[in-house]
Amino acid sequence: MSTPTEMPTAAPSVPSDVSVAPWHGRSRWGIGVATGPITRYDIAPLRLGWYLDWRVQPAPARPDGILYAQMVRVSGGVLRPSAEEIAAIAQANPGSLWLIGNEPDVKWQDNVLPDTYSRLYHDAYTAIKTADPTAQVAIGGVSQPTPLRMRYLDMVLASYHARFGVQMPVDVWNVHNFILQELRGSWGVDIPPGIPDNQGMLYEVNDSGNMEIFRRQIYDFRRWMADRGFGDAPLIVSEYGILMPPEYGFHPERVADFMTATFDFFLTAADTGLGYSADGYRLVQMWCWYSLDDPADHYPTGNLFDPLTGERTFLGEAWIQYVR
């Protein structure tokens, strides 16, 4: 395992009003809604700025004025919803943030070859921008910014350029920041489609909450962006957290410590050579914790609310104490 990158020293100030443009104050803080609806829960104390639920909604709920990120899915090699439906929804929701795909690099998520993804991204981007030039379009988040996943993205960029003759247009860069094993046929996130390797990063279960790896992966992805001409662009982390259950050693107190450490990192990590200049050179502009309310038989370790009772969890209380 390589040596973690050094931490920055700059810590830009943070406004607190959700009504200002993205990348500021409350607007940074996001949550994934696994069960929902979001209106079922008393989210006001969380001071959330945005949320997603892995789908496209013509009229999304926006409790407390929070933003909603539309997500187009690309599994099966087709846009879901269709380009025509996407255009109509974009026109009805001007200025929205659109994420094109969810983990296209993972075989049990959207699972598409790089060439297929580049084509679908072009179709979605064109439909959205034609209907709403003010929309912000983000690439789909790969599961973690490891060398293997960044090779997948290199293949996407090369395919787009070969097919359309221009650099792939990305308004907002997007990545997930899990820490999972990359081994064909094993637990974790396996190997991206189109890549012949049988292994990548052989993270262990206990690495899932490793803040040194977490920080390093964000720095590595920012360097990857800069090397490809996307250095001065916004970056969001649209999904991250700890998926391991308590019986693997991830009790609520440990998960809360990890969660609040990520908040410290996101709020303070800035680098004049790698960060986004319009945001005080911060590395990450918005982030989205997983999750608000995952079912008990899935990935409930990071839940802020119990989806059965609707009550806040220990982690939800830790979130509230932090944002206060």
The model carries a pTM of: 0.93
Q: Are the C-beta atoms of residues 275 and 283 closer than 8 Å to each other?
A: yes
Q: Comparing C-alpha atoms, which of 263, 266, 265, 251 is closest to residue 319? A: 263
CATH of range 25-323; options 3.20.20.60, 3.30.1540.10, 3.40.50.150, 3.20.20.80: 3.20.20.80
Chain-centre distance for alpha carbon 239: 4
Separation CA 220–CA 146 (nearest Å): 8
Residue 22's pLDDT is 65
Intervals of the chain under pLDDT 70: 1-22
Phi, psi of 108 (to 5 degrees): -105, 15
277 burial (CB, 10 Å; 0-12 / 13-18 / 19+) is exposed
Contacts of 224 (CB under 8 A, 6+ apart): 145, 150, 153
User: Which segments of the chain does DSSP mark as H helices, in order?
Assistant: 83-92, 114-131, 147-164, 211-227, 252-268, 314-323
305-313: list long-range contacts, CB under 8 Å, 24+ apart: 305/41, 307/34, 307/35, 310/40, 310/41, 312/42, 313/252
Residue 25's pLDDT is 84
Q: Where are the domains of the chain?
A: 25-323
Separation CA 232–CA 262 (nearest Å): 22
Contacts of 42 (CB under 8 A, 6+ apart): 312
Q: How many residues does the chain have?
A: 324
Residue 23's pLDDT is 76
Written as one letter, the residue type at 289 is W
Q: Are strands 29-32 and 235-240 parallel, antiparallel or unpaired?
A: unpaired
> Residues 26-68: pLDDT tens digits?
999 999 999 999 999 999 999 999 999 999 999 999 999 999 9
- Residues facing 175 on adjacent strands: 237
